[in-house]
């Protein structure tokens, strides 16, 4: 089998996650933190500067930002 090693690795992790008790809570905390970092903080620190502009205005904005520095 070409991908037999990949199947064994996936089964190893699935079996490990099934037998977890405290690990499930830790994974929930990790996923919550990732959601906060990528979804919530993105709204506040990375605004969409190209929203509401035409294609030509977007192209000009990108060109200006790339060549300005």
* 33-59 confidence digits (pLDDT tens): 999 988 888 888 888 888 889 999 999
**Is it the case that residue 1 has pLDDT exceeding 70?**
no
Tell me the percentage of the chain whose pLDDT exceeds 70: 96
H-type alpha helices, the chain? 4-18, 22-35, 41-45, 55-68
CA–CA gap between residue 48 and residue 39 (Å, rounded): 13
Q: pTM to 2 decimals? A: 0.47
**Alpha-carbon dihedral sign for residues 60, 61, 66, 69:** positive
9-26: average pLDDT = 84
Rg of the chain in Å (alpha carbons): 22
- Of 19-23, 27-31, 35-39, the range with the lowest mean pLDDT is 19-23
């Amino acid at each position: 089998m070409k991908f037999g090693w990949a199947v064994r690795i996936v089964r190893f992790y699935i079996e490990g996650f099934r037998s977890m008790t405290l690990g499930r809570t830790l994974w929930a905390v990790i996923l919550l933190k990732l959601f906060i970092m990528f979804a919530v903080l993105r709204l506040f620190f990375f605004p969409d500067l190209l929203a509401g502009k035409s294609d030509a205005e977007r192209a000009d904005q990108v060109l200006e930002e790339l060549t300005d520095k």
